[in-house]
Amino acid sequence: MPNNIHTFTDMMGREVSIPYPPQRIISLVPSQTELLYDLGLNEEVVGITKFCIHPNKWFRTKQRVGGTKNANIALIKSLSPDLIIANKEENTKEDIEELAKHFPVWISDIKSLDDSLIMIKEVGKIVAKPQQALTLADEIFHGFTNLKKSDTPRSVAYFIWRNPWMCAGGDTFINNMITAMGWKNVLADKDRYPQIDLNELKDLQVDLVLLSSEPYPFKEAHINEIKSVLGDVESILVDGEYFSWYGSRLKGAVSYLAGLVAVYK
């Protein structure tokens, strides 16, 4: 049982006082839910979102508290959490402000690999798993340090949505992953997730289009749609989890990204 209160500073600069160690945790962020599992937690996690699909056994058995953008506030309150883990981008300001009136809410803000490593170590401290988190962060850091970058940088556009078409801009974690591969995001000068007309890509001299598996589930048919506008520009389907999940899934991201670099030279 928690025996005292510890105060932590989250990635928004907020001081959050938490019963330590927390025993009733709700995670509103899929990648951070998986992180909690890989740090060795189980019974302590009492609620997750409907998008927290990893690990599968938690997805099947844990209480789901709505989505990342539409948390079930009443249900969360009924679970009496002593810690809620959230994220600036993935959750809504309104939900977080309401929950913070009643419970400790620790918020991450992730735009780079460095941010993710900080988050992993901080979450480890908060849930009383500091050594496990440090080991994990070191493994991820060394993996990306040794990732062989592309000798010939590809100019890529990374699509996250259709109708309207939307891509990852420069100030995103996805962009950081593209850069880690030695590739160039042709929309790096844009903020967040800009809408784009496919014809614009012709002028940007993109030579490889990446169609993510999430949040929009791109399929083979969409490759033909891109081809009808961009002609011979190569388009491929990619696993969005390895480009956008900034928790423990980064362990597997190293080999996945290295594989793409090796194939699409």
The CATH number of residue 180's host domain is 3.40.50.1980
Residue 136: both structure tokens together = 């994990």
Same domain, 74 and 178: no
Residue 200 — pLDDT band, cuts 50, 70, 90?
Answer: confident
**Statement: residue 201 has pLDDT above 90:** no
**How far apart are the C-alpha atoms of 125 and 150, rounded to whole Å?**
36
Residue 189: both structure tokens together = 């000068």
Same domain, 244 and 159: yes
The residue out of 108, 143, 178 marking a domain boundary is 143
Same domain, 23 and 116: yes
Same domain, 96 and 169: no
Same domain, 131 and 22: yes
Domain count, the chain: 2
> Does 149 map to a domain?
no
**Tokens 């990648």 belong to which residue?**
31
**How far apart are the C-alpha atoms of 179 and 241, rounded to whole Å?**
16
**How far apart are the C-alpha atoms of 85 and 32, rounded to whole Å?**
8
Question: What domain range includes position 53?
Answer: 4-143
What's at 244, amino acid-wise? S
Q: pLDDT at position 54, please? A: 97
> Does 201 map to a domain?
yes
Q: pLDDT at position 2, please? A: 52
Q: Round to the nearest angstrom and report the end-to-end CA distance of the chain.
A: 53
Residue 94: both structure tokens together = 């309104």
b or e along 50-62 (b: 16 or more beta carbons within 10 Å of the residue's beta carbon)?
A: ebbbbbeebbeeb
Same domain, 69 and 132: yes
Burial of residue 43 (CB within 10 Å: 0-12, 13-18, 19+) is: exposed
With beta carbons less than 8 A apart as the criterion, state whether 73 and 52 touch: no
Q: pLDDT at position 152, please? A: 86
The residue out of 115, 143, 171 marking a domain boundary is 143
Same domain, 136 and 27: yes
Same domain, 139 and 34: yes
**How far apart are the C-alpha atoms of 111 and 160, rounded to whole Å?**
16
> Does 148 map to a domain?
no
Same domain, 75 and 34: yes
Residue 202 — pLDDT band, cuts 50, 70, 90?
Answer: confident
Burial of residue 194 (CB within 10 Å: 0-12, 13-18, 19+) is: middle
> Does 150 map to a domain?
no
Same domain, 132 and 169: no
> Does 220 map to a domain?
yes
The residue out of 123, 143, 163 marking a domain boundary is 143
Could you read off the pLDDT of 132-171 as tens digits, one per residue? 999 999 999 999 999 999 988 899 999 999 999 999 999 9
- Residue 184 φ then ψ, to 5°: -120, 125
> How high is the mean pLDDT of the chain?
96
Segment (H or E) for 193:
none
